[in-house]
Structure 1
Amino acid sequence: MSNSRRLFLKGACAAAVGASGFTIATAKGTAGSDVEPVCNYALVHDETKCIGCDACSIACREVNQVPEGVSRLEIEREGPFGEYPNQHFRFTRKSCQHCDDTPCVKVCPTGAAYKDPKTGIVSVDEWKCVGCQYCIAACPYQIRFINPVTKAADKCDFCKETRLKEGQLPACVTACPTKALTFGDITDPQSQVVQVLKSAPSYRTKTDLGTRPKLFRIASQSGEIKL
């Protein structure tokens, strides 16, 4: 986006917010959440299979041209637990949860943050983003950031504008050497992601907030991380 266009939108945004007290943002967020998606994409991270190799985050950066210094996807490490030689680590994924009820969308004054009505994927239209950072403040999972190149809010979008457009799985899913990631439509009872969720207990983070996140996790246990 040109600087003049971004400056114009910033001015318009400020005026709208001041005059309406976020009524525009609330209306946009509510309208978007009322549309039933054609499919509803979700991701399962099986922590029992994850080895913390970072192949997923590297693939994400390359495919989506994520600049250095920021990241759409990180693998956080905890441990070691236990005593040598019977030690183990826990690897958890930090990325957008693609909530069904989206705090980030509700606060966006320009409509840049939105939930795709066809897929349920929470996305950012960088052309509309004015960098106000309201969505960053509203996200309870603290995963959004300002892209230093585009100057717009950024985050994981399940490779919606890259791999998914080509009919392929997200880059992180394809790159994982231990098949710790499963992606698919949770409204399709025959999908692989539904079968995985049926096969093992899973959990989601901060479900008490009512955001209904679609990043599911199968909890790691001692001795289960193997190559």
Structure 2
Amino acid sequence: MDYGFAIDLEKCVGCHGCSVACKAANGTPPGITRSHVVRGTEGTYPNAKRIIRPMLCMMCEQPLCVAACSTGASYVDDNGIVLIDKEKCDGCGSCVEACPYGARYLRENEDGYFGAELNEYEQVAYADMPAQCADKCDFCIGHSEDGVTPDPVCVKACMAEARFFGPLDEIKAMAEERGGEVYLPEEGTSPRVYYLPVINQP
């Protein structure tokens, strides 16, 4: 089954709850944030408006990162989820450069938040995140009851209920009904993450 993601920009308040939940659940090292929120403004006075855009891997149907990977470490599974085989990744960084959404990271060393000496939590959390290896959002595969189905913790953590995850056809139908769009459509990657627009701008 292909999965998709939708984020309602009218409901999102930019609280970073998704980012915090992701960081806690996946225990990512310093500098690696599988989910984050971009905040800023767009336009100029008197037509300026606030922009809040949660970001994660777009799980593209035509992923540039996979095309750029020379070792086959980056691939798309049967559910349409873009993944990284950490044993094949050589840390060249080509996929990081190729991703137009800034959704990939390279762990450059084995340090934790307090230096080279890892605490007990970091020793466990970083076990499957070797140095000189790429990392990214994987829709939280393994966080579900069966251990194999994607179950994004950011969706459950969103207090505004602005995030939706499910079968791709249902997500596309939701986006079509609300006039949702993908981010940077000009890149031609066909993302599986849709943004539902703000209708009532203050």
Judge same fold: TM > 0.5, yes or no. yes
Between the aligned partners of 2:187 and 2:41, the Cα distance in structure 1 is 28
1:105 and 2:66 equivalent?
yes
1:165 deviates by 2.4
User: After TM superposition, where is structure 1 displaced by more than 3 Å over at least 4 residues in a row?
Assistant: 79-83, 161-164, 221-224
Tell me if structure 1 keeps the 8 A contact 2:5–2:168.
Answer: no
Deviation sequence 1:40-65 (CA, Å, 0-9, x none) = 11110100000111110111111111
Q: Are 1:56 and 2:25 matched, yes or no?
A: no
Decide which moves more: 171-180 or 158-167.
158-167
1:179 to 146, 161, 164: 161
* Structure 2 unmatched ranges of 5 or more: 111-129
Aligned length: 178
Q: Percent identity?
A: 32
CA distance in 1, matches of 2:177, 2:158: 20
Shift of 1:127: 1.5
What is the CA–CA distance in structure 2 between the aligned matches of 1:102 and 1:78, rounded to whole Å? 27
**Equivalent-residue separation in structure 2 for 1:93 and 1:109 (angstroms):** 30
Letter in 2 for 1:165: G
Given the two structures, how large is their TM-score scaled by the length of structure 1?
A: 0.70
Corresponding residue to 1:169 among 151, 161, 167: 151
Return the structure number with greater helix share. Answer: 1
1:10-21 aligned at under 5 Å gives the runs none
Task: Return the match for 2:102 from 142, 145, 151.
Answer: 142
Secondary structure of 1:75 counterpart: strand
- TM-score relative to the length of structure 2: 0.78
Larger CA Rg, structure 1 vs 2: 1
Out of 40, 55, 68, the position equivalent to 1:94 is 55
After TM superposition, the structure 1 stretch with the greater mean CA deviation from structure 2, 146-155 or 193-202, is 193-202
RMSD: 2.5
| Cα drift, residue 195 of structure 1 | 5.0
